Structure 1
Amino acid sequence: MNRYKIILPALLVIAVAACSPTTQNTKEVASTKPTTNQVDTALVTKLSIPSSVSVGAPVEMTFTVYNPTDMIKTFCKWHTPFEPLMSKYLDITSTEGVEASYKGPMAKRMMPPPADSYLSIKPKDSLMVKVDLTKAYDIKAGNYTIKYNSGSISGLTVTDSVKVSIK
């Protein structure tokens, strides 16, 4: 019986301690969170494409990121043409409202992106890449609007869209 008098209070103390809320140093937690994949409105991203392309020919779109600031800026290359094709980062829609089928790979990734997933742009400089949309999208004859849809991953904002006619 004497054993229970010692064990029961000890178990009660352990149970209460386990159920009590813990505190964290919020300054330390906040400083370790990556902030570079947040949308950086200082970077200007533009899409460009020829207005007309022949059926069966490559549909080459240019994706350019400008840094008009006086500081080095970074963005995540995931879900952009700056990495090998691994995701559906464009919405390609015909004038009839039909979306071109995406036929490329879809990568599943752990967040946050590691440091080597980011590209830096020097002040007043730009990065440009061309991508053949026929490598990942089933594009048939017709008129299409192309919009970038992955700013929440890359941190890039593209406010405009481009149009192309496939004849």
Structure 2
Amino acid sequence: MKIFKLILPALGLLLFVACSPTTQNSEKIAATANADSTTDTTLVATMSIPAVSAANAPIEMTFTVYNRTDSVKTFCKWHTPFEPLMSKYLDITSTEGEEAAYKGPMAKRIMPPPADSYVSIKPKDSLSVKVDLSKAYDIKPGSYVVRYNSQSISGLSVTDSVRISVK
């Protein structure tokens, strides 16, 4: 019985110390550091489009890839604006929920991608390209949200979307 009187308070103290805020905060800091280091090794891309465009006029989007790391990084240019229109790599949806029809070509690919399908970016550098969305999508007057949908193919991280109004 004396042993239980000693063990129970010791277990309670051990449980209290193991669940203390100091331990929980250090775990959160470690998780944040891991997330930051993962982000630092990823190529990040952004899209920009003028907020308003005229109907039946070119709708020019700028697609920029950033290498924020200290080493040369590569990405597959398939399903990006860095190759001629060959695939539907954007989802363009009206504010009413209707998707703009893709009218460009669709390429069949060999896997894995050959070496000339990759683009290299120097450390702390970026690459930009412009593409006319009206050449590949049937965009009528209205408001749209443009999202990149091919992260898994290109290896690029694109987390934002852009809005455009076509008048």
**Alignment TM-score > 0.5, same fold:** yes
Question: Counterpart of 1:94?
Answer: 94
Structure 1: 5+ residue stretches without partners: 1-39
Q: Conserved in 1, the CA contact under 8 Å of 2:47 and 2:162? A: yes
Structure 1 position 41, deviation (Å): 5.4
Structure 1 position 44, deviation (Å): 1.3
Return the TM-score normalized by structure 2. Answer: 0.75
State the SS of the aligned residue for 1:61.
strand
Structure with more of its chain in helix, by fraction = 2
Structure 1 position 43, deviation (Å): 1.0
Count of residue pairs the alignment pairs up: 129
- Match status 1:164 vs 2:137: no
Question: Counterpart of 1:82?
Answer: 82
Q: Which whole-Å deviations, capped at 9, do the CAs of 1:19-77 have from their partners, x for residues lacking one?
A: xxxxxxxxxxxxxxxxxxxxx95211100000000111100000000001110000000
Percent of aligned positions with the same letter in both sequences?
Answer: 77
Counterpart code for 1:104: G
Question: Counterpart of 2:48?
Answer: 48
RMSD: 1.4
State the SS of the aligned residue for 1:134.
helix
Structure 2: 5+ residue stretches without partners: 1-39
Cα gap change, 1:122 to 1:143, in 2 (>3 Å): same
Return the TM-score normalized by structure 1. Answer: 0.75
Q: Residues of 2 paired with 1:152 and 1:74: CA distance? A: 14
Q: Residues of 2 paired with 1:44 and 1:104: CA distance? A: 25
- Match status 1:104 vs 2:104: yes
Q: Residues of 1 paired with 2:106 and 2:64: CA distance? A: 23
Question: Counterpart of 1:15?
Answer: none
Question: Counterpart of 1:122?
Answer: 122
Q: Conserved in 2, the CA contact under 8 Å of 1:74 and 1:121? A: yes
User: Where in structure 1 do 4 or more consecutive aligned residues deviate above 2 Å?
Assistant: none
Question: Counterpart of 1:61?
Answer: 61
Q: Conserved in 2, the CA contact under 8 Å of 1:143 and 1:164? A: yes
